[in-house]
Amino acid sequence: MSKKLLYSMHRDTPSPMEGPDEMDDDGLVLDDDIEVIEDEDIEIEDDEDSLDDGVVEGAAGASYSVKDDSVHVFKKHTGAVFCCDVDQSGTYAVSGGEDDKAYVWRIADGEVLLNCLGHKDSVVNVGFNHDSTLAVTGDMSGVIKVWKLDSKENIWSFETTDLRWLEWHHGTNVLLAGTVDGDSWLWKIPSGECKTFQSFGVPNCCGKVLPDGKRAVIGYEDGTVRIWDLKSASVLHGITDKLAHEEAVTVMDCCKDNTLVLTGSTDCTAKLINTNSGKVLATFQCNDKPGDEKSSNSVESVGFCSSLPLVATGTLSGTLFIWDIPTQTQRSAIQLQAGIVKLLWDNQLPLIYTSTLDGVVSLWDGRSGHSVTTWAGHCAEILDMVLSRDGQTLITASEDKTCRVFKTDKKQ
């Protein structure tokens, strides 16, 4: 989830040590016609096999009937749940919320493995490291904690200024983070050896480690994007000035072949960037209502398909766009019933999961743009969603103070 939505609902955002040694190194053109597809109203019916069906109270106090397709509901949080992640085996989840708490819990039954104490503000970033031996939790105030799962210990802590993003390196125990003052940090865990990446005077809003493990891409509040070398902490390429977004970069994703990154912004555009040259290959216009003020809409999620040369973008106004990479053209524009918070491509198939502000998870065929199925259960906004490595389990985090576990067998 882009932090724009989270911060706007819950909080107004304000606007050199030696580093680690060298880290370990770890054409299909689609020609279908472009079509705009209106999402049909979803009829929610009672189902004897669903969990907790009946009348529930929504976030605004309204009561309505909801069908629950989840196989388990995690209810330990006492405030909105902002973030979640799943470990490599699909056995455990970690979640963080408005109650200043984070939990590591077993997906099968919700049993708590670890209660992550000591945060001072809403926990907005969580994640498992590359081998799922460690979990990180980070709160809005900048308190970051790393937990060793087998011993249930807090093995490392650090406090920055207000935290904007936090991510594990995917091949080694290294953490990267960005803050409201514009600094980016890199730490070796648990030694704490650190590098800082130069601030450019504006907050950095999102970041990703490229698949090669040697570079990272960081997006900034002024719309600029920079590609960094992790070893030297130097900028390799900068997308600035007229090439940059007009407003804040809120979300990004990287192609698995290292060559492309897709960025999304509050200016309601997405940019396809070559990571080797720093060249902007395409700018995708994602505002479905061009006459509206740009501030009324934004790109909230983006993603690369793993099986076909496609990307997808999802907007706060609820439009899912599917774009063809080779031709850089729009294939489909699908209007959902509520704003899109997160989209995920299936790990193997050209299918897209979306989670939305009406509490629904939907599955779409990325080739045709047609609806495949939906999952219901939440009675308020979904704020985060993650897919297990085997593609069989979805975990969602919601404003309704719960996480829900959904099985994806319906996609077959």
For the segment 118-135, the average pLDDT, to the nearest whole number, is 97
- Whether 52 has a pLDDT exceeding 70, the answer reads no
21 in a structural domain: no
- Look-up: residue for tokens 């689609």? 30
Give the pLDDT confidence score for residue 289 in this predicted structure.
64
- Look-up: residue for tokens 């009348």? 55
Q: Report the C-alpha gap between 339 and 297 in whole angstroms.
A: 9
Q: Report the C-alpha gap between 224 and 113 in whole angstroms.
A: 40
Distances (CA, A) of 232 to 237, 240, 246, 259: 14, 21, 29, 20
Domain that holds residue 339: 3-12+34-411
Write down the pTM of the prediction: 0.85
Compare 33 and 293 and report the one with higher pLDDT: 293
27 in a structural domain: no
Backbone angles phi, psi at 243, to 5 degrees: -80, -15
Q: Are 168 and 135 in contact (CB under 8 A)?
A: no
Q: Report the C-alpha gap between 195 and 176 in whole angstroms.
A: 10
Give the pLDDT confidence score for residue 409 in this predicted structure.
83
Give the pLDDT confidence score for residue 5 in this predicted structure.
54
256 in a structural domain: yes
For the segment 34-53, the average pLDDT, to the nearest whole number, is 42
Give me the chain's average pLDDT, please: 87
28 in a structural domain: no
**9 falls in which pLDDT band (50, 70, 90)?**
low
**394 falls in which pLDDT band (50, 70, 90)?**
very high
Q: What is the CATH number of the domain that holds 230?
A: 2.130.10.10
- Residues with Cβ within 8 Å of 412's Cβ and at least 6 positions away in sequence, in order, are none
Number of domains, the chain: 1
**28 falls in which pLDDT band (50, 70, 90)?**
very low
Q: Residue 66, Cα to own-chain centre: how many angstroms?
A: 26
pLDDT tens profile 128-147: 999 999 999 999 999 999 99
Q: Report the C-alpha gap between 134 and 161 in whole angstroms.
A: 23
HSE of 49, CA atoms in CB hemisphere, 13 A: 2
As a whole-number percent, the residues of the chain with pLDDT over 90 amount to 80
pLDDT tens profile 152-177: 999 999 999 999 999 999 999 999 99
- Whether 62 has a pLDDT exceeding 60, the answer reads no
Segment (H or E) for 269: strand 269-274
The size of the chain, in residues, is: 412
263 in a structural domain: yes
pLDDT tens profile 218-243: 999 999 999 999 999 999 999 999 99
Q: Around Cβ 409, how many Cβ atoms within 10 Å?
A: 8
Distance, first Cα to last Cα, the chain: 27
- Whether 249 has a pLDDT exceeding 90, the answer reads yes
**40 falls in which pLDDT band (50, 70, 90)?**
very low
- Whether 33 has a pLDDT exceeding 80, the answer reads no
- Whether 217 has a pLDDT exceeding 60, the answer reads yes
18 in a structural domain: no
24 in a structural domain: no
Structure tokens at 72: 């388990």
- Residues with Cβ within 8 Å of 112's Cβ and at least 6 positions away in sequence, in order, are 76, 103, 104, 105
80 in a structural domain: yes
pLDDT tens profile 303-343: 999 999 999 999 999 999 999 999 999 999 999 999 999 99
Q: Are 215 and 223 in contact (CB under 8 A)?
A: no
- Residues with Cβ within 8 Å of 174's Cβ and at least 6 positions away in sequence, in order, are 20, 23, 168, 186, 187, 188, 189
- Look-up: residue for tokens 């743009």? 369
- Residues with Cβ within 8 Å of 156's Cβ and at least 6 positions away in sequence, in order, are 145, 146, 187, 189, 190, 192
Q: Around Cβ 138, how many Cβ atoms within 10 Å?
A: 28
Q: Report the C-alpha gap between 155 and 311 in whole angstroms.
A: 38
Give the pLDDT confidence score for residue 287 in this predicted structure.
87
- Whether 39 has a pLDDT exceeding 90, the answer reads no
